[in-house]
Structure 1
């Protein structure tokens, strides 16, 4: 009997947009255990087809022939997720965590009979994996009151904030631009983008450079409108400072370093944790020198929850 679709294709095939098809294929193969059955063209594919059990998932390169951007690039969260069954959801969870996926729902037994978890992959797409372990149990459906209680429970200090390391740094030569005003993402975000354009114009970004922000004043004893913030990049050669930027040297020595993972507007909480809990426990004094933040990734490339910022505090 004639059919309106190919014999080897299911009736429904999700279409997933990614930034780089070969990179995404490798990630899905290694992390999820999917198998790639087709690449077009073979050498530099902009289209691929992945097989998962009886399912086929289409991959397309972002921007190719009108394809929209991947969620991680557009900054718009994926409005749809995929729910997939697997033989061993615990092993799948472990591989996903090791591969850098962001866990959105923890691995737990659910009232509908599945043991499942939900993740967001490096492209920003949402996947839920499950293994059937029981039957539907209506008595375990959370009531609105239980859900409200769970939301109101205080969250523990993120694990990224639970340790402080000591590092020794040489003198750092820094080219920077200065802004005077409140230390808030709304104020500093546009200013930092301006600085990045200037620095890029002068080819200041090298593989070993550090992109930093120097908080010259303590907002606890300085008026917001008088706080000085320097957006800078470290330079390891003898080039002259370009027009429009200034130069300073951050003294080397020991620094206490804490990694913050998450949105920039949550940095104040990490600073508070450092002052109230972490710093008093190390038995060292802070030098009379401003601390600085080192920005390890780009907010244009990752979701706010995946931003990485190191806080460097100079020590005696």
Structure 2
């Protein structure tokens, strides 16, 4: 028997932010991520994990952490697709929190209902009902 279920998420997209603490607050307030852990002092975030209620999540930290930074990503260059069951409610929440909507809710030719937004750092987020195709092995 072949298992056609999608396995639990084990890929954690990672980004950097000029103001990581403000971005964390925005992602929690506007999109509904859950703050799982934040390490750092003052304005600096060395590591944060934000969990997505349906599974998986993202990791982020402050940009410009010094010359030995092994993960020096440019803030504002991140993009992600996030699965949600209620696109309309999430869109309303994002608008209410001041998110810049770059594509209003709409259907796709592959059966998903989606919208897209930009966060204050310039990262692009797409939220939709498409869960991907089941694995065949």
Same fold at TM > 0.5 = yes
Between Structure 1 and Structure 2, how many residues are aligned? 117
Partner SS, residue 119 of structure 1 = strand
Partner SS, residue 27 of structure 1 = helix
Distance apart, 1:99 and its partner CA = 2.1
1:116 and 1:130 in contact (8 A); partners too? yes
Per the alignment, residue 49 of structure 2 pairs with 49
1:17 and 1:59 in contact (8 A); partners too? yes
Residue 107 of structure 2, aligned match among 91, 96, 109: 109
Per the alignment, residue 91 of structure 1 pairs with 89
Distance apart, 1:120 and its partner CA = 0.9
Q: Establish whether residue 35 from structure 1 lines up as the match of residue 34 from structure 2.
A: yes
Gaps in structure 2 of 5+ consecutive residues: 1-7, 131-137
Per the alignment, residue 121 of structure 1 pairs with 119
Cα distance in 1 for residues equivalent to 2:101 and 2:9: 29
Per the alignment, residue 238 of structure 1 pairs with none
Higher relative contact order (CA 8 A, sep 6+): 2
Bigger radius of gyration = 1
2:18 and 2:75 in contact (8 A); partners too? yes
Distance apart, 1:56 and its partner CA = 2.5
Distance apart, 1:43 and its partner CA = 5.6
Gaps in structure 1 of 5+ consecutive residues: 1-8, 72-77, 133-316
Cα distance in 2 for residues equivalent to 1:129 and 1:50: 16
Cα RMSD for the two superposed structures = 2.1
- TM-score, with length taken from structure 1: 0.34
How do 1:210-249 and structure 2 match up within 5 A?
Answer: none
Distance apart, 1:130 and its partner CA = 0.8
From the two aligned structures, give the one with the greater helix fraction. Answer: 1
Structure 1 runs of 4+ aligned residues shifted over 3 Å read: 42-45
Deviations 1:20-74 (A, max 9, x none): 2221111111111111111113665512110012212011101114334412xxx
Partner SS, residue 25 of structure 1 = helix
Cα distance in 1 for residues equivalent to 2:57 and 2:22: 18
- TM-score, with length taken from structure 2: 0.74
Cα distance in 2 for residues equivalent to 1:83 and 1:23: 21
Cα distance in 2 for residues equivalent to 1:36 and 1:42: 16
